[in-house]
Structure 1
Amino acid sequence: MKRIVPQIKEGTTIYNDNEIENEIKSTKKKVKLVLSLVATLFLVLILYGIYSIQRPPKGDFIEQSTSPKGTYTVKTFLINGGATTDFAVRGELIFNKNKSKCKNIYWEYHTSKSNIYWIDENTISINGHEISLPYGKYDYRYN
């Protein structure tokens, strides 16, 4: 039987099985690293979007009002969206007695006024929108 010997051109590199296996492992590591970085960047962008939606801009102070028994204070702020969007009003609830973190309870678009009226200790009306405190809120995007 005649043995066939492959013809190898001059300057061609011949790899052994170990070198090929190491190159495959190295390529897999690089692919995993790139995919991890892309996934991390995607997650950061999503979290930033959620954070920015939940934390609207501070705005310019309009007015504040304290509940009849002094349990709460509500401050309203005018948000100037710039040349591409209209004005908005944001209201935040401040807990006077238990010093909890303040929270956004009011967000209305296409307005620049703030009329605050206390119905009772736990109910407020801002621009005609009645809000039960401390858990209620008005957000034009959801109402």
Structure 2
Amino acid sequence: MRKRLLIIFVVIITFLAYGIYWAFFDINRLEKGELISQVHSPDETYTIKAYLINGGATTSYAIRGELNFNKYRKKPKNIYWSYREENAVIVWVDDDTVIINGIQLNVPNEKFDFRRKK
């Protein structure tokens, strides 16, 4: 009986924790925004699209960077999210390394979220 209650408790806590993460911290749930820039990688495997997000009267602008896969059938992936920015400067260093507003990322695996700065 105790074991069953413990399992039920752990399952409920797990679902609550995931729900909070999904609702407040998942970078893939960001608002679409207005497209302000797009830059292809040197070998045209990827395209970074930058979107300006207007949070309304009570919050500042933000930039969302979306990685698009040109040669593979994959869904676009949010790799950059920064608050209090209105412009996006995107520079490709090589085929797999991009710098967005001074933040270097190795695509497709790295991402930047201003809420998780070191």
From 22, 29, 42, the counterpart of 1:50: 22
Amino acid in structure 2 at the alignment position of 1:73? T
Name the counterpart of 1:109: 83
C-alpha deviation, 1:52, in angstroms: 5.7
| TM norm structure 2 | 0.78
Tell me the SS of whatever aligns to 2:19.
Answer: helix
From 110, 114, 118, the counterpart of 1:136: 110
C-alpha deviation, 1:50, in angstroms: 1.2
C-alpha deviation, 1:53, in angstroms: 3.8
User: Is 1:118 paired with 2:92?
Assistant: yes
Name the counterpart of 1:65: 39
Measured in 1, the distance between the counterparts of 2:81 and 2:36 equals: 14
Measured in 2, the distance between the counterparts of 1:62 and 1:136 equals: 22
CA offsets per residue over residues 112-133 of structure 1, 9 Å max, x none?
0000000000000000100001
Name the counterpart of 1:100: 74
Amino acid in structure 2 at the alignment position of 1:101? K
Amino acid in structure 2 at the alignment position of 1:119? V
Which range moved further: 85-94 or 50-59? 50-59
Structure with higher RCO (Cα < 8 A, 6+ apart): 2
Q: Report how many aligned residue pairs link the two structures.
A: 101
| TM norm structure 1 | 0.65
Mark the runs of 5 or more structure 2 residues left unpaired by the alignment. Answer: 1-11
